[in-house]
Structure 1
Amino acid sequence: MKKKGMIRMDNYQRSGLFHKVRLPFQITDYGPQPLVVDIEEITERNRAYRVALWTGEHLQLTLMSINPGESIGLERHNVDQFIRIEDGQALIQMGDSENQLTFEERAGDNDAIIIPAGKWHNVINIGAEPLKLYSIYAPVQHPYGTIQQTKSVL
């Protein structure tokens, strides 16, 4: 049974338990309301560099689309981060300092990357198509409602 306030976004009906929401749907920040979403489809449809899909008190889900040859840029967060690649090929780099990235691994479709708090890291699109991924931060990393169309726009 659909709970009051729950948002259901998918392109198919499941046993009549949820109302069908037709595509296209708006990619926006649905937090802190309950959300059920086809994460693979919405991640692959996202064309913005970064958009917050759900921001709660202690957790945030963002979608990213990184163009071929581009990267997220070398960065470090004070929070743990989970990244899942839905589509594309990436080079993952991590290390204890920005000048000493001792971890380097290729990643692709359906791979997950765990980045501990305090680690310098970069995700580089090494494929020919946009790299589609989602990222989970705990706690929240970006302001509620973040929509960043390109890397250079904050």
Structure 2
Amino acid sequence: MAYDYSDRGKQPVVENIEGMTLENENYRTTIWTGDNLQVTVMTIQPGDDIGLEIHEGIDQFLRIEEGTGLCKMGPKEDELTFERKVKDDDAIFVPQNTWHNVENTGDKPLKLYTIYAGPDHVPGTVHKTHEDAKNDPNEH
């Protein structure tokens, strides 16, 4: 099925989020940005990760649709005291101001979607690869 991956934030939208997540081939595609919420779909290649990050004042929810990985969280960049394996259908809840990363430990792409409360990326952000995200001056 062909999905509309444009950022249609602030418009009413109904989507098959699982289908969009599984068909997405980009590292990150922002599909909806509102004033207090943002949704992206992500594909993390084997051996890659989301990248160690922190969202100041923003809670985050991630749902794994396909693949396996390792979720790490903690109060400091070098103190990731929480570690859990993640797989299909797992949900990850990241409290605001918490360092976190999700690594793809499997041999196939890790497919997930994430909800930021409030938005963390510029509306309409698309990063074809993790490297593109790292080189984006709008990313922290």
TM-score norm. by structure 1 comes to 0.84
Specify the alignment match of 2:126 in structure 1: 147
Gaps of 5+ in 1: 1-22
SS in 2 for 1:36: coil
Gaps of 5+ in 2: none
Give 1:34's aligned amino acid: P
Query: Within 5 A, what are the aligned runs for 1:1-154?
Result: 23-78=1-56, 79-153=58-132, 154=136
CA distance in 2, matches of 1:105, 1:126: 12
Q: Which has the higher contact order (CA 8 A, sep 6+)?
A: 2
CA distance in 1, matches of 2:2, 2:114: 22
TM-score norm. by structure 2 comes to 0.92
Q: What percentage of residue pairs aligned between the two structures are identical?
A: 48
- Count of residues in correspondence between the two structures: 132
For residue 89 of structure 1, report the CA deviation from its aligned partner: 0.3
Give 2:24's aligned amino acid: N
The list of structure 1 runs, each at least 4 consecutive aligned residues, that deviate by more than 6 angstroms after superposition, is: none
Work out which of the two has the higher radius of gyration on C-alpha atoms and give 1 or 2.
1
Q: What is the aligned-residue RMSD (CA, Å)?
A: 0.7
Q: Deviations over 1:16-36 (max 9, x none)?
A: xxxxxxx31331111111111
